[in-house]
Structure 1
Amino acid sequence: MALHKLLVDDFYDASFSLIAIHCKLEDYRLAYLLNKYLGLNLRRKAHDLDYNYFDASFSIFEWENEKIDSVWNLVSNVCKKEEAALQSSGFLFDNQTTVTRTVNLLPELKTVDYLIKVSTEDRHFNEKLILNKIQTIPQVITTYSVDIEKLKSKEHLIFD
């Protein structure tokens, strides 16, 4: 009897572009500027990306362009949380100190502040033009395209 084995990785198709943005703006302000400079209509989703195994949540904005069948997502790559520091001072009643912990959506891109994921079947999608328009935003430090094949944690980019 023949044994058939299906690999789940065979069904995953990364048909999207990923753009990294370095900028210290608040998420809502960057979404506004991207809407203005790129002619988008990004809106904050009702629920943030919440990963229990990260114990962190990331803000996400989305725009679905039905005319050309594309979906744009702006997602924060950084989540900062304050936690109680675990330290033993030997005293029963000691002041609790807090520590700020930083968690990244994509740990391979620790220095990236925001990510834009563009899911489209459009053959005429001009990524260089998009990168140049984003770079004209005065508050953006730099922006570049990310090679999806080199990411180990690309499953974190599945937002559905």
Structure 2
Amino acid sequence: MALHKLQVDDFYDDAFKLIAIHCRLEDYRLAYLLNKHLGLRLVRKDKDIDFRYLEASYSIFEWDNDIEFTLWNLISNVCKKEEDSLYSSGTLFANNEKVLKTFHLISEYKKVDFFLKISEDSHSVDDKEILNKLKDIPQIITSYTVDPLNIKSKDHLIF
């Protein structure tokens, strides 16, 4: 009797392009500039991406282009959170010091500030054209494409 194995990974074929963006803007300012220069209509979602049970949350903007069957997402890669320090001074009245902790959605790319995820069915989006338009925005330091298959934590990009 033959043994048949079914690989679940074979059926996962979510085709998307990923562009890393380096800039020091707030998320809403970057979404405005992308809307203006790329002709998008990104809108902030009601709920942020939340991982590890309220440890870190990342802002997400989305636009579903029904005409071209393309879903655009702008995702923050950095979450800065102020927490109480676990420092003990050994006295009864200790000063509670705050520590600023930084979390990353995709830990392999810690220097990337935002990701632009483009999910498409028809392969109508030219990533080189998008990169050229992103270079025209003076507030963006640099941008480049990232291969999603080489990311270990690519499950964080499924929402």
Q: Same fold (TM over 0.5)?
A: yes
Query: Hey, what does 1:111 align to over in structure 2?
Result: 111
Q: Give the match for residue 153 of structure 1.
A: 153
8 A Cα contact 1:54 1:103, kept in partner? no
Deviations 1:94-153 (A, max 9, x none): 100111111100000000000000001223321000011011111000000001121101
> Counterparts of 1:3 and 1:91 in 2: how far apart (Å)?
67
Where does residue 99 of structure 1 map in the other structure?
Answer: 99
TM-score in terms of structure 1 length:
0.94
Count of residues in correspondence between the two structures = 159
SS at match of 1:110: coil
Tell me which amino acid in the other structure corresponds to 1:9.
Answer: D
2:80 aligned residue: 80
Structure 1 residues 2 and 91 mapped into 2: Cα distance closer, same or farther (>3 Å)?
farther
Q: Distance in 2 between matches of 1:142 and 1:136?
A: 10
Partners of 1:5 and 1:53 in 2: CA distance: 35
Is 1:30 the counterpart of 2:13 in the alignment?
Answer: no
For residue 54 of structure 1, report the CA deviation from its aligned partner. Answer: 7.0
Distance between the aligned counterparts of 1:54 and 1:23, measured in 2?
A: 25
- CA deviation after TM superposition for structure 1 residue 156, in Å: 0.5
1:52-81 Cα shifts (integer Å, max 9, x gaps): 357110000000000010000000000000
Q: Give distance in 1, aligned partners of 2:10 and 2:158.
A: 16
Cα distance in structure 1, aligned partners of 2:75 and 2:100: 21
Letter aligned with residue 129 of structure 2: L
- Give yes or no for the alignment of 1:12 onto 2:31: no
Structure 2 portions without partners, runs of 5+: none
Identity of counterpart residues, as a percentage? 60
Amino acid at match of 1:27: D
In 2, Cα distance between the equivalents of 1:136 and 1:8? 42
State the alpha-carbon separation in 1 of the partners of residues 124 and 130 from structure 2.
Answer: 12
Q: Is the 8 A contact 1:14 1:148 kept in 2?
A: no
What is the SS of the residue equivalent to 1:108? coil
If the length of structure 2 is used for normalisation, what is the TM-score? 0.94
> How far does residue 91 in structure 1 lie from its aligned partner after superposition?
0.6
Structure 1 unaligned blocks of 5 or more: none
